[in-house]
Amino acid sequence: MLNAALITPETARLYGLASHALVEVLSPNAGQATGFLLEPHTAIAFGAMAEKAAKDGIQLAICSAYRPFDRQLAIWNAKASGKRAVLDENEQAVDIEGLTDNELIDLILLWSALPGASRHHWGTDIDVFDAKQVAISDLRLVEAEYSHQGPCAKLHHWLVTHAEAFGFYFPFQRGKSGVSPEPWHISYFPVSQTLLPQFDHLALANLIENSDMLLKGAVLARLDTLVDKYVRQIATPKDHLQP
């Protein structure tokens, strides 16, 4: 059973179990609902940033915002069961046949968070792209799209220069975070930095134990280490990327 002492109504948001306090993001031009949910302060700051980006010829758009626990669980289980491709550090698909549980866990964690341990659960973190340069259906979310001549290179350069003024930064940076570098993933630090210290690996253990997550025995056996690496080891707002 879920241990109510470990996850309260106040802390449920940390693990993707509460969306009631979130707001839906509206598209900048027509003001239409986009279906993406964010924490209210993050939504306001993002709207202001998107408006400024538009003036500079960039259509700052969202491809992923709030993600509930169940959605992250579905992604995890699809990868753990071979229904969805598992990529190595060079973004190449791996044959998972014959891997040990721990080898498979390490591979999945290169590009996907543990259910309950994704920053997308918080409503403060967003994956972005330049909708003027690439259609969401063509987007692969790989580093090459955000560097050199990639369709989102200009957007990335713009964010490196301007995001901080709006409260956003890149939490997943090479050499700084346990998670692989994600030049598309930004975080609203005035709120996200207040959430991280509240993250409790015992609450996460309880949640995973009571879920139908694949590989959960092997994950629970090393959960402390996984949380240290993939949740707590993170770039800080002071770790500026160079334009």
Q: Minimum Å distance from CB 126 to Zn ion?
A: 7
Q: Nearer to Zn ion by C-beta: 79 or 185?
A: 185
Q: Nearer to Zn ion by C-beta: 127 or 145?
A: 127
Q: Nearer to Zn ion by C-beta: 145 or 206?
A: 145
Q: Which residue is nearest to Zn ion (CB)?
A: 185
Contact present, 133 and 157 (Cβ < 8 Å)? no
Distance separating alpha carbons of residues 207 and 2, to the nearest angstrom:
6
Contact present, 28 and 215 (Cβ < 8 Å)? no
Among the listed residues 14, 124, 127, 129, the single contact to Zn ion using CB under 5 A:
127
Binders of Zn ion among residues 216 to 235 (CB under 5 A) are none
Distance separating alpha carbons of residues 201 and 224, to the nearest angstrom:
7
Q: Nearer to Zn ion by C-beta: 195 or 205?
A: 195
Q: Minimum Å distance from CB 167 to Zn ion?
A: 17
Task: Report which of 166, 158, 169 is spatially closest to residue 126, judged by C-alpha positions.
Answer: 169
The interface region with Zn ion, picked from 92-100, 131-139, 145-153, 181-189 by CB under 5 A, is: 181-189
Distance separating alpha carbons of residues 18 and 15, to the nearest angstrom:
8
Contact present, 8 and 34 (Cβ < 8 Å)? no
Distance separating alpha carbons of residues 209 and 197, to the nearest angstrom:
22
Among the listed residues 111, 185, 186, 223, the single contact to Zn ion using CB under 5 A:
185
Residues that bind Zn ion (CB under 5 A): 127, 185
